[in-house]
Amino acid sequence: MQNIRSPISQRVMKISPSGIRRFFDLVSSMEDVVSLGVGEPDFVTPWHISEAGIYAIEKGYTAYISNYGLLELRQELSRHLKSRYSLDYDPNSELMITVGVSEALDLALRAILDPGDEVLAPEPSYVSYMPCTILTGANFIPVPTTVENEFKVQAAEIEKRVSGRTKAILLGYPNNPTGAVMDRAGLEQIAELARRHDLIVISDEIYDRLVYGVEHTCFASLPGMKERTIYLGGFSKAYAMTGWRVGYAAAPAEFIEAMLKIHQYTMLCAPVMGQMAALEALREGEDAVKEMVMEYDRRRRAIVKGLNEIGLPCFEPKGAFYTFPSIESYGLSSDEFVERLIVEQRVLAVPGSTFGECGEGYLRCCYATSLSDIEEALERMRRFVSSL
């Protein structure tokens, strides 16, 4: 593109490709790799859910539908949010179906941000939060979290960073990559400061169903918070439906209307057969969710115990399907650690630094993989750390 002056936009130039990609490329040419890398369920979608998608295609549901998404699905979601979190969302104006939480996040940020605005977000955090914020022209302001607080963000740390340009707080709990879950008291403090500084809260609760021995508190359900929260939820994790690409946003009508404006020009609608499958998931998927959660919990306990025993200290994560052990005592950066672990022992994990600066000194190990693979990975990691 020699003849084109500045072919790529400044905003795109400001974001880097995901740090995970280099390691996935490295393992793609290797055999016998045990992966704790990919953040998605190893289960296939429960068959009755897949069948509903197949049946939708058989019945000719292969066309565009309403920009808002399938009405029955919005109605079912409205009932679901009422029964789980006592929240009232009008299916006609306060709920929309998106192409995964990924699209819902992008829409929420673009709907509320102007260039120069600031978004405060706990770190380590999901890899899309910063780039999607930067693409709007706004600034991403990380709020570090620490193992001492079990990676729960502290309201005081958020408040220190509030400025005249702060527009929103972006929360992602249960957390990817740490597995941290916020307790109600901590969220109430954040709610109080959101009210005081008049901030919008975008709450990505895609892992809400994956909690172990604790309760998930939905941010929008805190007193006075529904009116200033954009709640993001999805089907990918709880129902093992990553490839179906269905998620949703629930928020006051003014936010949904603004998000819908972008969605109708850029995406039009989420795939209808995926939405039919999601409807079946909500109606009949509860047993499958419970079974998968029980299995993740077994694996969680095994991996946390194993990592601690082999010298990779790890706090007990209470949500999602990630552990976040410390590698600080080995004197390697998390990138170097992961690269050598792949080359020397054929185990794939993700460097903590991928999720923000304060993730340096840690690894993300995903336990959405079989118990036998987890045991094999732990044995290889034991060999690796004892060779250091």
Measured CA distances, 175 to 22, 79, 214, 240, 372 (Å):
23, 25, 14, 17, 25
Nearest Cα to Cα of residue 240 among 50, 34, 21:
50
CA distance 118 to 121: 10
Does residue 112 belong to the site contacting ligand PLP (CB under 6 A)?
no
CA distance 335 to 342: 11
Alpha helices in 272-356 (DSSP H): 272-284, 286-309, 334-345
CB 36, min distance to ligand PLP, A: 15
Q: Are 45 and 241 in contact (CB under 8 A)?
A: yes
Candidates 95-103, 278-286, 329-337, 350-358: pick the segment binding ligand PLP (CB under 6 A). 95-103
Kindly report the length of the chain. 388
Q: Are 364 and 127 in contact (CB under 8 A)?
A: no
Nearer to ligand PLP, 345 or 354 (CB): 354
CB 236, min distance to ligand PLP, A: 3
Task: Give the one residue of 45, 78, 102, 136 binding ligand PLP; rule: CB under 6 A.
Answer: 102
> What is the number of the residue whose Cβ is closest to ligand PLP?
100
CB 39, min distance to ligand PLP, A: 5
The site string for ligand PLP over 226-265 (x = CB under 6 A, - otherwise) reads --------x-x-----x----x------------------
Task: Give the one residue of 77, 97, 119, 206 binding ligand PLP; rule: CB under 6 A.
Answer: 206
Nearest Cα to Cα of residue 56 among 272, 278, 283:
272
Pairing of strands 229-234, 247-250: antiparallel
Q: How many residues bind ligand PLP (CB under 6 A)?
A: 13
The site string for ligand PLP over 127-166 (x = CB under 6 A, - otherwise) reads ----------------------------------------
Residue 320, SS3? coil
Does residue 353 belong to the site contacting ligand PLP (CB under 6 A)?
no
Task: Give the one residue of 136, 145, 176, 354 binding ligand PLP; rule: CB under 6 A.
Answer: 176
Which positions touch ligand PLP (CB under 6 A)? 39, 100-102, 126, 172, 176, 204, 206, 234, 236, 242, 247
